[in-house]
Structure 1
């Protein structure tokens, strides 16, 4: 029996998709997130311990002290109602308890004052109200909004209203400011230091990635300077060594291919001269053999071009639209019906001769199998998530020929694979090799004209 599918995996995937969309894609952003997230958790725990423990206890004690002093004053006023005693109590309270008192005989408290919302993160107002309820046990009201330096407390006595002004400093301690400054300041300082450090590390990785991409597109980048962490320096040194080995390999292969080209073409030239010197009466046989020799020369040139890969040419800025228009003009001179649509000049860093060979091979294939050819040049945004910006330049070649079945289109790019007589089977292979050397690719699709569409994609 097959095991039942677990419902946990789809749930994890469904929850993970939004998280992946929120997470930064770059190494710098993810590294800073790895540093910042534990830092925020640590500071949150510290804040909770201080706010939920120490701060709450201190706030209740300070509020209880103020409420106890007011309760003592109320008790003394009840036991000594004389005017002289009341004045003495007010003086002693102002001197010993830092409370400003006033009495309004025969008055009654009005509606309670509105809460001020002063420092809503602190429990001062609630703690003071609870302490007054416990220690005064008379109707009271607190006003936090009228005076920025004091809290006005009104207590309803039997013969009037007692007004008390308690300094806010008795309910609030200055170390709270220092705690918040330390909490926020240390977090910002650590984050800035981490950001500067990680930025330097990521810069070295970005330079290495840019150099590798440029080298893969056939551009001369030279040796890069190893910098950053030891692992990044090792990667840069390995990249420089790889560049040297690849250049030596290409140089040696080019020299070997040049010798092979010379050795193969020399006997073919002798055969051509020998055929030209045949006696009269053998013109038909000589013409057939001369055609065979020419076909052998074309095949050798195609094989050498495929093996060489046009790798010795350096990329330089060139107008792709003008290059394609020239190739289309040559195809018209050979009898093809070719139309070209272009948005205008498109300057790209390309190897012009190699790109001419790439597009020329596509036009030759289309001309060999179709009557009508349409070439279009366009631009489209990049969909590659590893690149933050840029676009693609698309060169589309459509024809009205028989096309290639969808199951055989990828097979057509393999060397020495030909779907028609008279071809070497290297045209599409060379074209894709050149496109990929530029950092792009070639894809075969169905054409709106009824035949085959070859789409060349080049990075810009």
Structure 2
């Protein structure tokens, strides 16, 4: 389980990255195997053979020089070696070998040559790989001086290791690039489907999406288009039914209002008429609330909306109704919204606050780069922490939920349809804070 958690922690989250990783890991493994076979087997074997051959030639030449004290004969031996083996030799009489810092090069050639010279010569020596780009300079200590041998690098190279590495990694990079382009085309259909689903869930109907990509992705896009059409048809049928229900319910209420208006206003009946009229008006408000909740403001189209100006309208209406309310925050927030629905949700929150508190404060600001928050604060009694979720339930009794239990329910339904959320908490003013969070 611990290994699985670590594996998930470092595993890429996106489908594109995971698919690319599925291709990249086998390629890297193949490169490692090929490099090991070439470097560990072929290159090492050939390099050791070259190094031992050259070391043997140098050892044989030095042995001939030791047995030929005549300088003219020594010169002739070194001249013949240069002609036959391409090994240029020079003798520095009376010199002592200076041991410098060992510098390793890329590949096994330097180690193989040093090992071969140590095995064949049995004398102190140095190998200079960096002074001359065309030769490796080997200096060997003799009894009466130092012999310098210039070895052509091409005699030690089995091939260009850098060229081999470039070929291996270059073809791998080309493969990854081609795979990335191909995978991006395949993933693009999935991303488009995800964006369409997210937009549709937020009430931003952009119409059917064009199927593209692999067969399974196309089938998912076609299924999404069918689902989207069925949901639209269901909402349209429900809206038509609710319109009929609204008409049927309002007709008897209208008759009741007319009957109450025609009753004689005698002192004995006046209190009952007032109470009954109040009950009828309350029933009409309840029916309007029920229908608005069931309809969910779903028929309204989204459009570019100045949220700051919309808040000013809501606050202005509350002030005309007698509320003490202030507005602060940004004045330039423009979002893609259903303006009437958001106006209704914010008005519900402001009305709830002003009914229970003498002062209300409304603010708007960026909560993050992709989220805007509208806060409605009051200095009223607030709501107990254990009831913060209960007041959102439909038909929940209690004044805090809007009189007949649908004020906050309708508001949250509207906000969630926009891809946002309403969060209730304790206000800095001492009462309740309702935070409306909307995506940018």
Identify the residue that residue 246 of structure 1 maps to in structure 2. Answer: 231
Question: Per-residue deviation at 1:311?
Answer: 0.3
Question: Per-residue deviation at 1:175?
Answer: 4.7
Identify the residue that residue 395 of structure 2 maps to in structure 1. Answer: 416
Any conservation in 2 of the 1:109–1:154 contact (CA below 8 Å)? no
Equivalent in 399, 403, 417 of residue 437 of structure 1: 417
Q: What is the correspondence of 1:291-370 to structure 2 with a 5 Å cutoff?
A: 291-370=278-357
Identify the residue that residue 386 of structure 1 maps to in structure 2. Answer: none
Identify the residue that residue 370 of structure 2 maps to in structure 1. Answer: 391
What stretches of structure 2 of length at least 5 have no aligned partner?
none
CA distance in 2, matches of 1:372, 1:98: 101
CA distance in 1, matches of 2:18, 2:163: 31
Equivalent in 130, 146, 164 of residue 161 of structure 1: 146
Question: Per-residue deviation at 1:167?
Answer: 0.2
SS of corresponding position for 2:415:
helix
Question: Per-residue deviation at 1:111?
Answer: 1.3
Q: Does residue 1:92 correspond to 2:80, yes or no?
A: yes
Any conservation in 2 of the 1:112–1:142 contact (CA below 8 Å)? no
**Higher alpha-carbon deviation: 63-72 or 177-186:** 177-186
Equivalent in 421, 428, 433 of residue 448 of structure 1: 428
Question: Per-residue deviation at 1:377?
Answer: 0.9
Question: Per-residue deviation at 1:280?
Answer: 4.4
Q: What is the correspondence of 1:186-335 to structure 2 with a 5 Å cutoff?
A: 186-281=171-266, 282-335=269-322
SS of corresponding position for 1:91:
helix
| Cα offsets for 1:278-315 (capped at 9, x unmatched) | 23424443333222221111111111000000000011
Q: What is the correspondence of 1:73-222 to structure 2 with a 5 Å cutoff?
A: 73-104=61-92, 106-117=93-104, 120-222=105-207
Any conservation in 2 of the 1:115–1:144 contact (CA below 8 Å)? no
Q: Matched residue pairs, number?
A: 437
CA distance in 2, matches of 1:191, 1:280: 89
CA distance in 1, matches of 2:55, 2:100: 18
TM-score, normalization by structure 2: 0.94
| Cα offsets for 1:13-66 (capped at 9, x unmatched) | 8x72xx655543332223222322332233223223322232222221111111
Question: Per-residue deviation at 1:454?
Answer: 1.1
Any conservation in 1 of the 2:90–2:149 contact (CA below 8 Å)? yes
Question: Per-residue deviation at 1:176?
Answer: 2.6
| Cα offsets for 1:213-233 (capped at 9, x unmatched) | 110110121000111122211
| Cα offsets for 1:200-245 (capped at 9, x unmatched) | 1221111111111110110121000111122211111111001100
**Higher alpha-carbon deviation: 326-335 or 346-355:** 326-335
Any conservation in 2 of the 1:200–1:228 contact (CA below 8 Å)? yes
Any conservation in 2 of the 1:115–1:145 contact (CA below 8 Å)? no
Identify the residue that residue 60 of structure 1 maps to in structure 2. Answer: 48
SS of corresponding position for 2:344:
helix
CA distance in 1, matches of 2:405, 2:146: 107
Any conservation in 1 of the 2:211–2:218 contact (CA below 8 Å)? yes
SS of corresponding position for 2:335:
strand
CA distance in 2, matches of 1:414, 1:112: 88
Question: Per-residue deviation at 1:169?
Answer: 0.5
Q: CA RMSD in A?
A: 2.0
Any conservation in 2 of the 1:315–1:351 contact (CA below 8 Å)? yes
CA distance in 1, matches of 2:26, 2:76: 59
What stretches of structure 1 of length at least 5 have no aligned partner?
1-8, 382-389
Any conservation in 2 of the 1:60–1:128 contact (CA below 8 Å)? yes
Identify the residue that residue 407 of structure 2 maps to in structure 1. Answer: 427
**Higher alpha-carbon deviation: 243-252 or 171-180:** 171-180
